[in-house]
Amino acid sequence: MFDQDEVTGTLVNYYTTCKREAWLYAHHIYPDQEDENMALGRTIAEIKEQNLQDFAFANLKFDKLSKERGHYLVTEYKKSLKNPEAGKMQLLFYLYLLKIGLRLKEVKGRLISGKSAFLVDASEENLNMIKEILIDIEKLVNMPTAPKFEYKKICDNCAYRNYCM
Amino acid sequence: MQKNDRTHFILNPGRLRRQDNNIYFDKYDDEMSVVATKILPINAVDEIYILAKVDMDSYTMAFLADNNVLLHIFSPYQSFRGNFFPNTSNSVNKSGFVLLQQLRSFDDEIKRSYIAREITRAHILNDALNCKRHGVKFDTNPHISALEVAKTIPEIMAVEGSFQKLYYEKWNEIISDQKSFKFTVRSKRPPADKINSFISYVNTRIYNVCLSEIYKTELDPRIGFLHEPNYRSLSLHLDLAEIFKPILGDTLIFSMLNKKEITAKDFETNAGRIKFTNDAVQKIEMKMISKLTDQIEAGGQKLTWRQIIRREANRLKKCICENAPYEGFVYQ
């Protein structure tokens, strides 16, 4: 049985992008590691703050945590902002865990790609949304087989393309 | 991404160390003092074959693991000792789900023979197309229909065996130098004549390439479908190689023999065992590497032969995990 505690930020991101991708990732069927975009992502992850590696929360793997005036700011770097919804959900998941687990009062999230950036707010409405998504993810991953493959435009650049297609 | 052959061989004793997010190799001389240092760019290496005594520390190994570099370790007499398997959050190869599914498909008689049949069909078709490309007629219909009827693994193996015998007889029509490379009968361990020793050498290389590509997916190389896994340690790469032996190996043999790049002089006999001279090995390896890095069009993408092999492994994985229809790769 897959439990909500095992959900990671990447899984939330994948869930918003493609349900099949999320199922595969949760079952440790990983995408092609030599894919160009994978390599880029791994390089971007190196911007990460060093001391975050021994952060108390195992599932939290965001890139940066900074203390601003009166609130904490979680930063996530992305290769592109083509799919802002997925990045937003990933950040909301971090904010949710920080709020529930560490009881931080004011937390905000920021998504950065190149020179553009946008803020994600941990409002009541948003947190309820992520709560529902977490329940959905648990349901999806506990299904015995992956959702059927359907061709979408994003499939062309996905690192799973050699497996799915 | 354009890829070259990303295999690295270490043939000298030395020390492999990490420095500034990169891998350095210090070559030792007899007194263990460093004589030369070489940089192995971490992003351009996929696997390292270690054939000598090499020092390494856990810091280096963790770094290699983080970057998904496979280590194959061999004894000084070139027998296989084992692999270093990366196990970090970045690394692949540790899905319990895929392993379970693979075991289930192996135990399922119908599914196992289905996969075995598809692999054999691709093997037969690739062989026949090879003949056709060299202007030799070959009728595969009786074999394909016999394959359709075959239910069990021994029956499929029998079809394959009888086909293989006929196929090797056709080689005498393809290879022009009949004086030193006449094919009579396939013999192994040790190969009895020059052509057999050539086949054995090239096949071994293809087995190794298939094995490395299987290691990059979650499949377990211990459980094969066509070849019986009971009495050997690894067998899935033999299955996969069945499809690619005719495309990569046999064409390489034909072209090197017909262009007279390999002649009878490239072999030396020692106590009844035939082996290549070092020059010949180098010539074959150069050809092999250029073959593996050749790009062809498949499924709307331009892929190198190595990537095609991995794609094939992925399709097998999809068949195992999701009961998707599987069709072996046929090179038109």
Share of chain A above pLDDT 70, in %: 93
**Which of B308, B128, B101 is closest to B225 using CA atoms?**
B101
The answer to whether A28 contacts B218, with C-beta atoms less than 8 Å apart, is yes
B98 touches chain A (CB under 8 A): yes
**pLDDT for position B138:** 76
Q: Residue type for B68, please?
A: N
Q: How many helices (H) and strands (E) does chain B have?
A: 10, 12
Please give the structure tokens belonging to residue B196.
Answer: 């057999």
Q: Helix axis angle, A124-141 relative to A9-17, nearest 10°?
A: 80
For residue A56, pLDDT over 70 is answered with no
Residue B48 three-state SS: strand
Cβ burial B190-221 (10 Å sphere, 16+ → b, else e): ebebbbbbbbbbbbebbbbbbbbbbbbbbbbb
| Residues listed for chain B | 332
Q: How many Cβ atoms are within 10 Å of B180's Cβ, its own excluded?
A: 14
**pLDDT for position A164:** 84
**pLDDT for position B77:** 66
pLDDT mean over A4-23: 85
Between strands B295-298 and A107-113, the pairing is unpaired
Q: How far is CA A158 from each of CA A14, B93, B121, B128, rounded to the nearest angstrom?
A: 11, 19, 30, 35
ipTM: 0.76
**Which of A14, A100, A99 is closest to A109 using CA atoms?**
A99
| CA atoms of B330 and B126, how far apart (whole Å) | 6
**pLDDT for position B43:** 78
pLDDT band for position A55 (cuts 50, 70, 90):
low
| CA atoms of A133 and A141, how far apart (whole Å) | 12
CA distance B199 to chain A (A): 31
> Which pLDDT tens digits describe chain B residue by residue (332 residues)?
344 567 788 878 889 889 888 889 998 888 888 888 888 888 778 788 887 888 888 888 888 887 778 888 877 666 667 777 766 555 556 778 888 888 888 888 888 888 888 888 888 888 888 888 887 777 777 777 777 887 888 888 888 888 888 888 887 877 777 777 777 777 777 777 777 878 888 888 888 888 888 887 888 888 888 887 777 778 888 888 888 888 888 888 888 888 877 777 777 777 767 777 777 777 777 888 888 888 888 777 788 888 888 888 888 888 888 888 888 788 87
User: How far is C-alpha B139 from the chain's CA centre?
Assistant: 27
Contact A92, A102 (CB under 8 A): no
A6 touches chain B (CB under 8 A): no
The answer to whether B46 contacts A34, with C-beta atoms less than 8 Å apart, is yes
Write the CB contacts of B111 (distance below 8 Å, at least 6 apart in sequence). Answer: B105, B323
Among the residue ranges A44-53, A83-92, A130-139, B99-108, the one predicted with the least confidence is A44-53
Residue A74 dihedral angles phi and psi, to the nearest 5°: -100, 130
Write the CB contacts of A144 (distance below 8 Å, at least 6 apart in sequence). Answer: none
| CA atoms of A53 and A72, how far apart (whole Å) | 18
Strand residue runs (E) in chain A: 64-67, 72-77, 107-113, 116-121
**Which of A11, A20, A5, A16 is closest to A129 using CA atoms?**
A16
Contact B328, B226 (CB under 8 A): no
**Which of A111, A80, A79 is closest to A93 using CA atoms?**
A111
CA distance B116 to chain A (A): 20
A164 touches chain B (CB under 8 A): yes
CA distance A66 to chain B (A): 25
Query: Which stretches within chain B are classed as H helix?
Result: 58-66, 96-107, 109-133, 141-149, 153-174, 194-215, 236-244, 251-258, 278-292, 305-322
Q: Residue type for B83, please?
A: N
- Which is more confidently placed, A84 or B191? A84
Burial classification of residue A51, based on how many CB atoms lie within 10 Å of its CB (0-12 exposed, 13-18 middle, 19 or more buried) = exposed
Which residues in chain B have Cβ-Cβ distances shorter than 8 Å to A164?
A: 318
Contact B98, B219 (CB under 8 A): yes
**Which of B331, B319, B330 is closest to B116 using CA atoms?**
B319
**Which of A149, A143, A72, A80 is closest to A111 using CA atoms?**
A80
Write the CB contacts of B286 (distance below 8 Å, at least 6 apart in sequence). Answer: none
B306 touches chain A (CB under 8 A): no
CA distance B223 to chain A (A): 18
The answer to whether B90 contacts A28, with C-beta atoms less than 8 Å apart, is no
Q: How far is CA B112 from each of CA A7, B105, B214, B217, rounded to the nearest angstrom?
A: 34, 6, 18, 20
| CA atoms of B44 and B24, how far apart (whole Å) | 13
A28-40: pLDDT as tens digits: 888 887 788 888 8
Size of the A and B interface in Cβ pairs below 8 Å: 47
Closest Cα in chain A to B322: A145
| Residues listed for chain A | 165
The answer to whether A29 contacts B299, with C-beta atoms less than 8 Å apart, is no
**pLDDT for position B2:** 43
| CA atoms of A60 and A9, how far apart (whole Å) | 7
**pLDDT for position B3:** 47
**pLDDT for position B148:** 80
pLDDT band for position A105 (cuts 50, 70, 90):
confident
| CA atoms of A46 and B156, how far apart (whole Å) | 51
